[in-house]
Amino acid sequence: MNKLVLWAKDVNKSMVDIVGGKSANLGELYNIDIPIPDCFFLTAQSYEYFIKENNLWPRIKNILDLIDYSSPKSLDVASNNISKLILNTPVPINIKKTIIKNYNLMSEKFVAVRSSATAEDLPEASFAGQQATFLNVKGELEVVDAVLNCWASLFTARAIYYRHKNNFDHSKVYIAVVVQNMVNSRRSGICFTNNPANSNSQEIVVEAGFGLGETIVSGSVSPDTYVLNGNSFEILSKHIGNQEYALIRNDDGGNDKLNLNDKEKNSQKLLDEEIVNLAELAKKIERHYGKPQDIEFAFNDKQLYIVQSRAITTIKKNKTDVENKINAESILKGLATSPGIVSGRVVFVKNLDDLEKIKKGDVLVTKMTTPDMVPAMEKSVGIVTDEGGLTCHAAIVSRELGVPSVVGTKNATSILKENDLITIDGNTGLIYMGNFVKDIDANKNKNETERIIGKTKTKIKLIVDIPSTAKTKSKLLSDGVGLIRAEFFISQSGVHPIHYIKSGLDKYSQIIYSGLKEIAEAFKPRPVWFRTSDLRSDEYRGLKDGDKIHTEDNPMMGEHGIRFSLAHPDLLKAEFIGIKKLIDEGYKNIGVMLPFIIRSEEFTASKKIAESIGLKPNVDFKLGIMCETPGSVWIMEDIIRQGASFISFGTNDLTQLTLGIDRNNQNIAQLFNELHPAVVGQIEKVIKIANNYGVETSICGQAGSNPEMAEKLVKLGINSISVNSDSFYKVKNTVFKVEQKINDSNK
């Protein structure tokens, strides 16, 4: 095949030698109906024709032969000389005309022009990110110029070094170019279907930020990091990045650096349902390829696009499942991005001249690494940066090199001093002053096996939000479901409930009915507790008509939960209608709980709405409340007298409101503590009241998955604990041991 250009519909994953790894994967994605931006590919044959037509290879080879690969300066000089040679050579007229003709067929005039090397994304070596990308390119000659610059980028210092290190023949690696409709992304990021920090194949990692994704790839901003269970798609953890700025396309096609305000810096970049939907799509791509994937994505308003997908090339099997622990206080914390524990002397790298200072065994500390630093990084025993996330340059390269690293510490370059002896833990993201490697005593205890060691009096339930996971989760020997959030049903519909007030509420009732039925069916006869909708004004604006909800300065304390439901009673009524339909079909295992209660009148008003459609609370179904505000704690006895048949603690909000802490603010995240005496004291108070009335108590916040908290709850006399499925065995066995202790002490 000697075509100069191919479009995505004509390309598949077997064509790496023709269009490069990036282009081959885009064509493959297009042909399995994954949403990608419209694109065409300038083939590797175009580059080969350009080199041969101008007789460039002999001159390029002469420059390469003079490189001292141990010297960053030598690599840099060679790279600059080859780039100048290519950029000063005219593009053959037939190639130029072909580029312009196909560019004019694009649906958008702003395009991204990206390199796609024919050795890129091979499993033996990662060439990802070594060649150039040009964004917001507009105009025929501008696109031609961007293509020429992509060809020149085949000889960046980093690319030259990697080919040498991995024994690739420079003359055998060609480059193709992707010309792709520019997604004017408001939010973007990267998704790994295998946790790159610890090679955990059971976890999916998403990194996201505002604006164009290049800031995340380069590591110039600290993105959000979300970790999900790769099977159930439960969100296991969130690290909200402190993003200082975003790159936004301006009207002229340039990139403006938009400084973010304090609220934007520390806000969650993707909604929970967007995170889950992205993870599900990523898993579909992984299943198609049969290999873990590194996926770049972008949101243009509400539309999700996959910009590229490639095999993860840095997965390494853990040599041991032994957990090493350092018994000392850390001085810094960042993101654990490459596993291992090492000690060494601090050497700061502030500019390229500092690279020569790095000797074998040093810890390289810098604001953020660049491709020019790769040879020095290879000499280092460990790497620490102020900025970046799991997919920044420092993280990717350190994993490739097998060098432990911690990124995104914010202030390592100001806290540490030159020649400090430090220990960095690439497994936990912690950094210690001194050498602790010699003190580590490998813990030889085997990991707890996934089996239940005994029956417990305290019921252990699951948190299940995604109906499609219910059947799998029901196979665990749980006592039912302690939390089902209506928001996940709503988000999957893509429409804000406010839309149905005018268009008809039957469809909204059907959404609740369908989602809840799948879970109730999977777990019957075990009880499942459904929480009515709790839609914050800032979290669901991306849904259809979500922008019609008024903006609030403090959405966490605004009109959400039962407040919103009673302000729009037809919506709550529609939710009860969906529930009644299930009960009429014979599902007697459903309980309903009301969120964010602060007044007993809210409970009685909700009861009346249920009764208005023929539902009898605590006869047809159990009606309870979420205890997640200090206000509800102090009126709990009154609410129970009004007919609440169970109480479920929402410890995330209860802790936040009790301690006055924004749990999404990473600057004070260390103060968030569900075990604070003020939080535990309120839980104890409610449990005592509920036990006096014979009312069941449960917990469904993240705290329930914490074994230490679980132990406290059992001692306080809680009736059930709801946990994420991945914590089920650990918490179940912790509870069993605590109950055994209590029984032994009472003998």
**104, amino acid identity:** N
Q: Is 393 a catalytic residue?
A: yes
Which residue carries 């329930």 as its tokens? 704
Residue 413 structure tokens = 């370059």
Q: Supply the DSSP string of 641-694, one letter for each residue.
A: HTT--EEEE-HHHHHHHHHT--TT-TTSGGG--TTSHHHHHHHHHHHHHHHHHT
From the list 713, 720, 705, 734, the residue with the least C-alpha distance to 454 is 734
Catalytic residue among 393, 496, 499, 560: 393
Active site residue 700: yes
Please identify which of the residues 39, 150, 191, 700 carries the catalytic annotation: 700
CB atoms inside a 10 Å sphere around CB 201:
14
Distance CA 509, CA 517 (A): 12
Residue 189 CA to chain centroid, in angstroms?
9
In the three-class reduction of DSSP (H, G, I as helix; E, B as strand; rest coil), residue 200 is classed as: strand
143-146: list long-range contacts, CB under 8 Å, 24+ apart.
143/99, 143/100, 143/103, 143/111, 143/113, 143/179, 144/91, 144/96, 144/99, 144/100, 146/113
State which amino acid sits at residue 664: N
Spatial separation of the C-alpha atoms in residues 11 and 28, rounded to whole Å: 7
Q: In one letter, which amino acid is 417?
A: K
**Would the CA dihedral through 26, 30, 36, 38 be positive or negative?**
positive
Task: Determine contact, residues 679/701, Cβ cutoff 8 Å.
Answer: no
3-state SS, residue 65: coil
* 155 three-class SS: helix
Other CB atoms within 10 Å distance of the CB of residue 556:
16
CA 158/CA 76 separation, integer angstroms: 9
- Cβ-contact 12, 27 below 8 angstroms: yes
d(CA 677, CA 102): 67
Query: Which residues, 6+ apart, have CB-to-CB distance to 526 below 8 Å?
Result: 478, 479, 480, 481, 589
Cα dist from 557 to 6, 271, 515, whole Å: 54, 18, 28
Residues 6+ apart with CB under 8 A from 315: 194, 196, 199, 292
Q: Is the dihedral of CA 367, 373, 376, 378 positive or negative?
A: positive
Q: Which residue has the tokens 């796609």?
A: 116
- SS3 for 551? coil
Cis status, amide bond into 196, omega within 30 of 0: no
Tokens, residue 706: 């914490």
Q: Which residues pair with 446 in a beta bridge?
A: none
Cite the DSSP H helix spans in 38-152. 44-53, 57-64, 72-87, 93-103, 140-152
Q: Contact, 172 vs 191, CB < 8 A?
A: no
Give residue 90's identity as a one-letter amino acid code. P
Tell which residue, 297, 276, 36, 303, has the closest CA to residue 188.
Answer: 297
Q: Is there a contact between 212 and 133 (Cβ–Cβ < 8 Å)?
A: no
Q: Indicate which residues carry an active-site annotation.
A: 393, 700
